[in-house]
Structure 1
Amino acid sequence: MRIGCLHTAASNINVFETALAKVDAPSVTLVHRVRPDLLSQAQQYGGLNPEIERLTNAALSDLSAEVDAVLLTCSTLGPCVTNERIGSVPVVRVDSALAKESTCAGGRVVVLCAVETTLGPTTRIFVDAGKKLGASVEVRVVQDAWPLFLGGQITDYLAAVATAVAHAYEDGANVVALAQASMAGAADLVRGYPRPLCSPASGLLAAMSAV
């Protein structure tokens, strides 16, 4: 099985390859495409617009010709996916998969984001999932984290996310979810609290299930 991943950061290639190794799916191969220009345009515009949506869907369509399922790994671009399939190929949003997993048991769910442009899309998809499954959802931005990521200070970036995870549990969260794929490495830094849920594993499992 071949799963195509559309990323907006090259560093997410390793994130998803690592996640694939952990879910133990030896028959699955990942095909990666990186389009940082799409996220850059969204950040400059302050969100999505028809041109960004067109370019994103064109990239997803091109990728679908090579694989059995397509995975959109950028939560900012998530709303560009309006159909669950391109032809016969399923299309999965990692944030949608994570939203379903994190809210399925109900309770209080705190969702952490690192970049402002993903706040709106993330809030909508997690709140909708929470309503369906009886969970209370709060979405937070990890302040000052994204400049660290953009500056290549990944260790400091992940440490800031891990600290935010601890604060969320201290505030009474039953589940903490890391909305952006780039945050996944922070899960390994969390000590003394439950491991937060991460979108790469959720997305990969959802894509395999869709196939």
Structure 2
Amino acid sequence: MKLQLALDLVDIAGAIEVVSEVAEFIDIVEIGTPIVINEGLHAVKAIKDAFPSLTVLADLKIMDAGGYEVMKAVEAGADIVTVLGVSDDSTIRGAVEEAKKHNKEILVDLINVKDIKARAAEVDALGVDYICVHSGYDHQADGKNSFDDLNAIKSVVKNAKTAIAGGIKLSTLPEVIAANPDLVIVGGGITGEEDRLAAAAEMKRLVSQV
């Protein structure tokens, strides 16, 4: 089980500062959609240049032109690129084809997918590397989480790895671990803590026991 740090509400300098603190305890660093909107793919390149040994995920949430947008993210240094599960199958296929050319990976985010189980099975057949259930920022405000969704997709996903994101903290991590995803994605549960190093270290210890 791997641990991914999601960086959203920071600029490039702030991202480098946070990653510098916790790099030894994370497997993947995510350049979140807000950073990409504010800073562009320069943020992906800056983090990959600063931390070449870390896997870097560009959370582009691609909805169209999958091949082209994956190509540009890979050029910037991304190892994993996200595509939305609500996008067309042809978009996902194009993203997968481009990623495979460069030995990179695709994570499909099922945020706002209505029939999680059915779409997960369809996406799995398209050859993606990760399928992620995700309670977004607005969902969390309504008290939703993705634990049930994770259990649902694990019953149908045969090839891809599974991931979960959205509001995960140390207090909820045991419940996440019990559902046994391949990848746990944490944002504020690390970045919002007063002692980010301690939070990351404890989360890494817990996920590594599985």
TM-score tier, shorter chain, comes to 0.3 to 0.5
